[in-house]
Structure 1
């Protein structure tokens, strides 16, 4: 049996929710990413006003990412350039304090930033699935989402550093 919407529009959360395509899953995941980013700002203190400004931009870009496969592509090279510059700015602030794998620890919003990073990984995996199904995925979307995941991790470490929270290295016993 194929589920379809019948009835009131009030009982339909999203027009494509019953679609069997992985495209709907991509859109749900990018919606989750935007929502998570939107909740982060409430946890940032005045010392992180610069990060707040960047996150406000990223909430909008996550929604642009959302519609960039089904609809008109809205993530472009200029967005990747902006995010690259922001990433490099925060990397400079970190310096060499992060030289290996570190544990994703810290008070809010650090945990939310790390979960948003995980959201990015899910979005990337969904783009891989879309590509495998023959659905065109613009390369800029993949580049942007990978860069965003790295930005989120970097910024989580910057917040920890600004707060004086210790960064703990992790050495895997598996690799």
Structure 2
């Protein structure tokens, strides 16, 4: 196999076949970039600082499958507080599913939410391959996915945009 001397990331070809660590790292880097893009549209300083904190956490979880989880219990608690604050603030905003519509920031938060679900899927797949994955990593990824869901509700709420409910024909018959 050809290995370019200009490769942007050394693990692109060196990762063993039985691990998804490189995929996890590339997607987490992409997510961090998307959060940075979203943050560029945020004027609220408190929320901007929160997104910066979350972006740093994403970079800390990036090498977890290859090395170890370096997120501290204190950082996890701060993340949980951020999540719970948004969940409380948007309480009653939607009952179940909503279409990923609304403001530009809300729809982009939905994209990031979904990316965290994909990252979570990679982490579970890594475990199915027989590798150890910290339980806390699974918790962090779930919290981050939900955080960005609540953030999308917050963005729509702050612009007086109503959520569009979605009722599934498959799950609620």
Query: Of 71, 75, 78, which residue of structure 2 is paired with 1:82?
Result: 78
Q: What is the CA RMSD across the aligned residues, in angstroms?
A: 1.5
Contact 1:80 1:143 (C-alpha < 8 Å) held by counterparts: no
Q: Which residue of 2 aligns with 1:127?
A: 123
Shift of 1:174: 1.5
Q: Which residue of 2 aligns with 1:52?
A: 48
> Structure 1 residue 4: deviation in Å?
5.0
Q: TM-score, normalised by structure 2?
A: 0.90
3-state SS of 1:17 partner: helix
Matched position secondary structure for 1:95: coil
Kept in 2, the 8 Å contact 1:31–1:66? The answer is yes
Q: Secondary structure at the match of 2:11?
A: coil
Deviates more, 1:130-139 or 1:95-104: 95-104
Q: 1:69 Cα deviation (Å)?
A: 2.2
Distance, in Å, in 1 between the alignment partners of 2:154 and 2:7 is 41
Q: Deviations over 1:13-45 (max 9, x none)?
A: 10101123311111111111111111111112x
Pick one of 111, 135, 141 that aligns with 2:107. Answer: 111
Aligned to 1:91: 87
Q: Is this contact kept in 1: 2:103–2:159, CA < 8 A?
A: no
- Asked if 1:142 corresponds to 2:146, the answer is no
Corresponding residue for residue 16 of structure 1: 11
Query: What is the number of equivalent residue pairs in this alignment?
Result: 168
TM-score, normalized by length of structure 1?
A: 0.89
Whole-angstrom CA distance in 1 between matches of 2:65 and 2:20 = 11
In 2, distance between residues paired with 1:161 and 1:65?
30
* CA offsets 1:79-123 (integer angstroms, 9 cap, x no match): 221111111111221121222211111222222211111111111
**1:35 corresponding residue in structure 2:** 33
Question: What are structure 2's unaligned runs of at least 5 residues?
Answer: none
The structure 1 segments of at least 4 consecutive aligned residues displaced by more than 4 Å after TM superposition are none
Preserved contact between residue 124 and residue 146 of structure 1 (Cα < 8 Å): yes
Pick which of 76-85 and 150-159 moved more.
76-85
